[in-house]
Chains A and B, each alone.
Chain A
């Protein structure tokens, strides 16, 4: 079996005639996807390499987390996804020769005297993204005045405004940002450190790696790699009026698939949290209405504690404090836990009010029929309470969708986080945030209408029942 496979493999780098290549198409200008259409620097690179090998190419989109396991299990022949070549990755996978210099570079205002290296940054105010390679690279140099930013696009705005003397960050990413939105800034040619991107293969595909290396070397030699880079990252590619001073619909449209992905996470988080919160809230509401002090008091204390502390603090508590006690949960679980625990406090108050608003005659009639206290709750009170609570519950669901943005602090790529990343990638908050707002609005509007409709309907029902 193996020898048959090797025999084919030696004959052609793509025995089926097509290379299947994994990519993470959420990273313009390198790899992105609108509808079924892939585009970007790496897409074109892959195409040219495949052509040189005499193969076709099929792209498979994957999140970056899952892309290496899929490669190693044989789902792809190769991965082209802005993968930095590291010794650690080399131990389990093969890399082609590098196709992109991705080290740290210095950004300055056009017209300022050029700073060639780290030594030249001494005494200057230099902006970096918080916890980025740039920060780590400069921290051992106390003579550099480091200013850390939560998002790298902000560094460029401040450099433009004169609040910084220079900015240090990933060369390809910044090249694209400058091209898109900062024609008044320039990227230094010197690489402050060595970081390179390569095409990745499973260890048993040495034949393919070697063929690709030949193709890439050919592209370096005849200048086509350079041309590609100029096409996607060069200033010549800068679109008319690229500066981020007005809203650009085209950019928003390109971002929509990613916003939709973020929205899916947001919906998943808020729906799961809501569903988890309901039973918790019901238990709390019933406990608070109990005759037993031992149930009533802790439930009341719990609800007041949750309502009296900011959700953000609760998220931080679960995310950063619990692991200190040896409890570490997956991010999504932590997010759902935090959101649902918080929501349960508010929902329990809604349910408590709804339970309290039910005519005492209902429990009496049920008790007179022989139902136990639990059965009265289960079959008579709770179903009615839920009906009455539907409008406020819907409002709570809307609140949950919006509040779920808070878990972006944990790095969950839900809608708000996606917005942050996009705005930062294009250095264009003006075009991205309206799209984010619109996406939230599209998700919450149907719920808001539903709530209004139910409120109207219910008020009719209550009037009728009362007369």
Chain B
């Protein structure tokens, strides 16, 4: 059995008296795609943010390639550079053009030269279908284009694990496809990822495993066909029914 790329054991997180994560166990094996689903407010984003320490878990342990993650700013930064994150609202740097958005982290964090980094940047922009947009300003791009730039920006650091937090939720419906297409390509390359999503058909198609989170606990997990096609848990069924009704509207 492979060593998991990342493994969470009994991770808990409270905001004041509000217990958001209540002992979550999760494994992402190398090359697998884990889709995290669950009703709004159940802690999906918090879980994802704990995986790259944007939030610090109150208890529990986190292993990366079998090694427990230590303390200290240095270790944290190294970890974050290995784990890429794509946000619901893109968060491109508005004061930098597309190319410089991509170049910032490699140059500043890894000290790469501009030329060298720009070469990889152009390859990645090509890959997300935006090679013509290198000089454009973020605010001049559509949401779908911005999210594809954000994905390319995150790929610049050659992350071993990609975290997507509802990457298409802020997009107009006609722009969702282009972003999902890019993510699908990445999955086909065999990249390891965690995706929080409400796009059930996409999850069914791309994910190797689906995790249903509810009120801060994993209530069900397994292959997509099982969790999405034949959910065991009543709350999973109600949740899926509601999502399905919503997407039919």
Among B73, B84, B104, residue most surrounded by chain A Cβ atoms (within 10 Å): B104
Q: Answer yes or no: B153 CB below 8 A from chain A CBs.
A: yes
Are the CB atoms of B139 and A364 closer together than 8 Å? no
Which parts of B143-193 form the interface with A (CB within 8 Å)?
150, 153-154, 157
In the bound assembly, the distance between CA atoms of A370 and B105 in angstroms comes to 7
Are the CB atoms of B80 and A372 closer together than 8 Å? no
Q: Answer yes or no: B217 CB below 8 A from chain A CBs.
A: no
Are the CB atoms of B108 and A368 closer together than 8 Å? no
Minimum distance in angstroms from B196 CB to a CB of chain A: 15
In the bound assembly, the distance between CA atoms of A365 and B165 in angstroms comes to 12
In the bound assembly, the distance between CA atoms of A366 and B101 in angstroms comes to 10
Interface string of B41-78 (1 = CB under 8 A from A): 00000000000101000000000000000000100011
Are the CB atoms of B91 and A379 closer together than 8 Å? no
What number of A residues sit within 8 Å (CB to CB) of B? 22
Are the CB atoms of A383 and B91 closer together than 8 Å? no
Are the CB atoms of A370 and B95 closer together than 8 Å? no
Q: Answer yes or no: B203 CB below 8 A from chain A CBs.
A: no
Are the CB atoms of A369 and B95 closer together than 8 Å? no
In the bound assembly, the distance between CA atoms of A40 and B87 in angstroms comes to 76
Which residues of A have CB within 8 Å of B52?
368
Closest to A380 in B: B93
Which parts of A342-396 form the interface with B (CB within 8 Å)?
359, 361-362, 364-373, 375, 379-380, 383-384, 387
Are the CB atoms of A465 and B108 closer together than 8 Å? no
Minimum distance in angstroms from B102 CB to a CB of chain A: 10
In the bound assembly, the distance between CA atoms of A384 and B93 in angstroms comes to 9
Known: A368-B84, A384-B94. A464 touches B73 (CB 8 A): no
Q: Answer yes or no: A461 CB below 8 A from chain B CBs.
A: yes
Closest to A376 in B: B108
Minimum distance in angstroms from B53 CB to a CB of chain A: 9
Are the CB atoms of A387 and B95 closer together than 8 Å? yes
Are the CB atoms of A465 and B80 closer together than 8 Å? no
Minimum distance in angstroms from A323 CB to a CB of chain B: 45
Which residues of B have CB within 8 Å of A366?
93, 104-105
Q: Within the complex, which residue of A368, A372, A379 is in contact with B104, where a contact is CB–CB below 8 Å?
A: A379
Are the CB atoms of B77 and A372 closer together than 8 Å? yes
Known: A364-B54, A375-B109, A379-B108. A370 touches B80 (CB 8 A): yes
Q: Answer yes or no: B89 CB below 8 A from chain A CBs.
A: yes
Are the CB atoms of B54 and A368 closer together than 8 Å? yes
Known: A361-B91, A379-B104, A387-B95. A370 touches B139 (CB 8 A): no
Are the CB atoms of A371 and B108 closer together than 8 Å? yes
In the bound assembly, the distance between CA atoms of A368 and B157 in angstroms comes to 10
Closest to A372 in B: B77
Q: Within the complex, which residue of B77, B91, B109, B139 is in contact with A365, where a contact is CB–CB below 8 Å?
A: B91
Which residues of B have CB within 8 Å of A362?
91, 93
Minimum distance in angstroms from B247 CB to a CB of chain A: 24
Task: Supply 12 A–B pairs (Cβ within 8 Å), ascending by A.
Answer: A361-B87, A362-B91, A366-B105, A367-B54, A368-B52, A368-B54, A369-B154, A370-B77, A372-B73, A379-B104, A379-B108, A380-B104
Q: Which 6 A-B pairs have the closest CB atoms?
A: A370-B81, A365-B91, A369-B105, A361-B91, A368-B85, A370-B109
